[in-house]
Amino acid sequence: MAVLCKLADPQAYVVSDWDLLADPVGRDYWIGHFTHHTETMLALARKQGLDEAPIKAFRQELLSELDFLRSDPAYWGPLTVLSFDRCRERLLRKHGIDDPYAQVKQAENHAAIGLYPDVLAELDALDGPGLIEALIRGVFAGNIFDLGSMATIENYHAEGMDFHATRERQPRRPWFVDDFDTLSDRLLNKPTYRHVLFFVDNAGSDLILGCIPLARHLARRGARVVLAANSTPSLNDITFPELNDVLDRLKGLDAVLANLLAEDRIATVASGCGAPLIDLSDISDACNDAARDADLIILEGMGRSIESNYHIVFTCDVLKIALLKDTEIAKRLNGKLYDQVCKFEQV
Ligand code: MG
C-alpha cells in the first residue's frame, strides 16, 4: 500500500479533519447514525436471502462496539467517521457477510445501463459550456443514489431512482460551492489534461450516467482517464470487479467508449480501499502508479471529497464534486441538505 504521490504535504495528511474525540455532539450523532443505518443495511442482507445467524451475530457485535465507544470514546484510538466505516466492514467480513448491497447495486446498474444511450444522445447534441454543465449536473444527479445517507435512503425507498427527474430538480447555478466557470474555461480553452485519475463513488446512475459520460468526454478530448474504484465492497459503492463488468456491458452500446477502452484511453484500477471515505495515505500501489503522471485528480461523492480530503492540497489540479447528503455534514460547511459542491483547485 502507498501514500498518494500527489499530496502537497504527505506528512501532515489527515484523512478527516472532523475529530470525533474532541466533539462529543458529533460523536453521538455518528453513533446514532451507525446504529440506525445498520438496520437498513441488514434489511437488504435479509432480502438477499442471507442466513439470520450471521446477521444477528454481526448486529450484536457492532452494537456492543458502539456501546463501548459511548462509555469510552478513545476505545478505538483516534476517532473519525472512517473509524466507524472500518469497524463495520471488518465485522461484516468477520461474520461472512460479504456484500449486503450486491443485489441492489446490480439492479441499479441494470436500470442505469438501460438509460445510458439516451443520456449520451442528449450530451452528444451539446457543446461548449452547456455540455460541461450538463456533464457536471449529471454527476450531481447520479450521486443521489447513496445508500449510506439516511436522507437519500428515505428518498430511494419513497421514489426509487429517477435520474432524469433528479437532474431536472437540481437547483440552477450558482451552486453552494461553484467553481464551474473556472472548470469550464480550463476544460474548453486550455491545453487538455493528459492524465486524469478519477475516484468514483456509487454503482448505478452515479457511475453510469454521471461519471462515465464525464470520463468519456475527457478521454475524447485527449486525456487518459483511469477510473479508481474500491477494492472491496462498502455500502452501494461500485467495486473494481463491478466497474469492469459495467464497462464491458456498455461497450456494446457505445462504440466511442469501446474504442477508448480498446486504446487504453479509459482504464480502471482498484484503489486498495474498502470504505465510502478514502484514506489517500493508504491506497494500492497500482492506484499510486496511476497517479504518478496525473495532471487532474477527481474525487467524486461526499465520502471521498467532503467527509475526507476536502481541505487537502494536491500537487496537481483537483476537482472535488459531490452533493451534501447528510444534515450534519452540510451544517459543518454552513450548507444545507442536497447542496451541490463543485470545488476545482488548480495548482
Ligand atoms: Mg458511496
Give the 3-state DSSP-derived string for the chain, with helices as H, strands as E and coil as C: CECCCCECCHHHCCCCCCCCCCCHHHHHHHHHHHHHHHHHHHHHHHHCCCCHHHHHHHHHHHHHHHHHHHHCHHHHCCCCHHHHHHHHHHHHHHCCCCCCCHHHHHHHHHHHHHHHHHHHHHHHCCCHHHHHHHHHHHHHHHCCCCCCCHHHHHHHHHHCCCHHHHHHHCCCCCCCEECHHHHHHHHHHCCCCCEEEEECCECCHHHHHHHHHHHHHHHHCCCEEEEEEECCCCCCECEHHHHHHHHHHHHCCCHHHHHHHHCCCEEEEECCCCCCCCCCCCECHHHHHHHCCCCEEEEECHHHHHHCCCCCCECCEEEEEEECCCHHHHHHCCCCCCCEEEEEECC
Domain with 155 in it: what CATH number? 3.40.50.10880
What per-residue confidence (pLDDT) applies to 170? 87
Please tell me the distance between residue 276's alpha carbon and the centre of ligand 1 in angstroms.
5
Same domain, 48 and 122: no
* 54 CA from centroid of ligand 1 (Å): 24
Tell me how far the alpha carbon of residue 145 lies from the centroid of ligand 1, in angstroms: 8
249 CA distance to ligand 1 centroid (A)?
22
Same domain, 56 and 82: yes
Span from the CA of 322 to the centroid of ligand 1 (angstroms): 10
Residue 51 sits in the same domain as residue 151: no
In a domain, 326, yes or no: yes
Centroid of ligand 1 to alpha carbon of 337 (angstroms): 16
For residue 152, report the distance from its CA to the centre of ligand 1, in Å.
11
Residues 117 and 164 in one domain: yes
Same domain as 83, residue 119? no
| 127 Cα to the center of ligand 1, angstroms | 29
**C-alpha 299 – ligand 1 centre gap (Å):** 12
Within a domain: 40: yes
- Ligand 1: centre distance to CA 305 (Å): 11
In a domain, 111, yes or no: yes
Q: How confident is the model at residue 4, as a pLDDT?
A: 98
147 C-alpha vs ligand 1 centroid, how far in Å? 7
- Residues lining ion ligand 1 (Cβ < 5 A) are 201-202, 237, 276
Give the pLDDT score at 158: 74
If asked whether residues 143 and 81 sit together in one domain, one would say no
What is the predicted pLDDT for the residue at 289?
A: 98
Q: If you measure from the C-alpha of residue 191 to the centroid of ligand 1, how many angstroms do you get, rounded to a whole number?
A: 32
Q: Which of 36, 71, 94 is the last residue of a domain?
A: 94
Q: 273 with 299, same domain?
A: yes
The residue among 68, 94, 120 that closes a domain is: 94
Ligand 1: distance of its center to the CA of 277 in Å? 8
Which residue type occupies 298?
Answer: I
186 and 333 share a domain?
A: yes
Q: Report CA(165)–ligand 1 centroid distance (Å).
A: 20
Domain that holds residue 71: 19-94
**59 and 162 in a common domain:** no
**9 in a domain, yes or no?**
no
Same domain, yes or no: 120 and 24:
no
Cα of 258 to ligand 1 centre, how many Å?
Answer: 26
Cα 170 to middle of ligand 1, angstroms: 19
Q: In angstroms, what is the span from residue 149 Cα to ligand 1's centroid?
A: 9
pLDDT at 160: 72
Number of domains in the chain: 2
Residue 301 in domain: yes
Cα(148) to centroid(ligand 1), Å:
7
Tell whether 198 is covered by a domain.
yes
We report the CATH number of the domain holding residue 72 as 1.20.1700
**Cell numbers of 79, please?**
476517532
Give, for all 347 residues of the chain, the pLDDT tens digit. Answer: 999 999 999 999 999 999 999 999 999 999 999 999 999 999 999 999 999 999 999 999 999 999 999 999 999 999 999 999 999 999 999 999 999 999 999 999 999 999 999 999 999 999 999 999 999 999 999 998 888 778 778 777 777 778 888 888 888 999 999 999 999 999 999 999 999 999 999 999 999 999 999 999 999 999 999 999 999 999 999 999 999 999 999 999 999 999 999 999 999 999 999 999 999 999 999 999 999 999 999 999 999 999 999 999 999 999 999 999 999 999 999 999 999 999 999 99
pLDDT at position 154 is 78
| Same domain? 90 vs 106 | no
pTM over 0.95: yes
Q: How far is the CA of 189 from the centre of ligand 1 (A)?
A: 32
**ω into 10 cis (within 30 of 0):** no
Of the residues 94, 120, 137, the one at which a domain ends: 94
Is there a domain that residue 112 lies in? Answer: yes
- Nearest partner of 322 among 151, 160, 190, 199, judged by Cα: 199
Residue 12 included in any domain:
no
**78 and 126 co-located in one domain:** no
